[in-house]
Amino acid sequence: MSTVADGVGEDVQWSSSQGSNPPRVPIGINGIGKRAFDLVISITLLIFISPLLLAIWCIIRFSDNGNAIFKQQRFGRDGRVFTCYKFRTMASDADQRLDELLQTDEAAAREWESGQKLRNDPRITRIGHFLRRSSLDELPQLINIIRGEMSIVGPRPIVHNEIAKYGEFYAYYTAARPGVTGLWQVSGRNLTTYPQRVALDAQYVREWTLTKDILIILRTIPIIMTGQGAF
């Protein structure tokens, strides 16, 4: 299979022999450059969009009296666990709603098992649909970037039950800081299959350069504006 992210990567097929000893992303002077790039972008954005962040926080907080920030344990570089921040897009009883749906709807259960996503997710609030489609729910992850837990560009941050789905390629995933955006997001996002996501994360690690990070960021902008692949 080939990625639709033209100019970012050629092939996302990997053999078992390629899954061992992945390179660490990045190292040496390149690591300093990537980290500096992350800090400049994230701090600048945080300063300029702080009024927007406050407005979103207020809308979520007072729409249903729940917490505006969603916190979840994710796995990062070297397999370290960190608290990932997002604006809450789901109802307060999201877990209960999901359990009820998966127990009563076989098609939804298959869809969830396949990609850990639901096209018609009953947990998502009205404002949540807008935040997800526009990717505004990801903005609190700027804090994760400043703290050194994430990067602007990197693999998609995963939770514990997704590790098994990565198999041997989990070593690729842990070779880099997870990103707010990445090769997966510009290659179809939720329209891709889970194996494709894994392959794209591995490809990102194998082919990483700062230039490709910039290309991914540039490709992310129109995707955010159109909401392509978001649900």
pLDDT of residue 198: 93
pLDDT of residue 205: 92
pLDDT of residue 230: 61
Distance CA 25, CA 2 (A): 22
CA gyration radius, the chain: 17
pLDDT of residue 154: 95
CB 177 within 8 A of CB 26: no
User: Could you list the pLDDT tens digit for every one of the 231 residues in the chain?
Assistant: 334 333 333 333 444 444 456 666 766 677 888 999 999 999 999 999 999 999 999 999 988 878 999 999 999 999 999 999 999 998 877 777 777 777 777 777 777 676 667 776 777 888 988 998 888 999 999 999 999 999 999 999 999 989 999 998 999 999 999 999 999 989 887 778 889 999 999 999 999 999 999 999 999 988 888 766 565
Q: Tell me: the pLDDT tens digits for 103-160?
A: 777 777 777 676 667 776 777 888 988 998 888 999 999 999 999 999 999 999 999 9
pLDDT of residue 17: 41
pTM equals: 0.81
Q: Residue 164 corresponds to which tokens in the numbers above?
A: 């098994």
Distance CA 51, CA 48 (A): 8
Q: What are the boundaries of each domain within the chain?
A: 22-89+124-226
Distance CA 169, CA 172 (A): 5
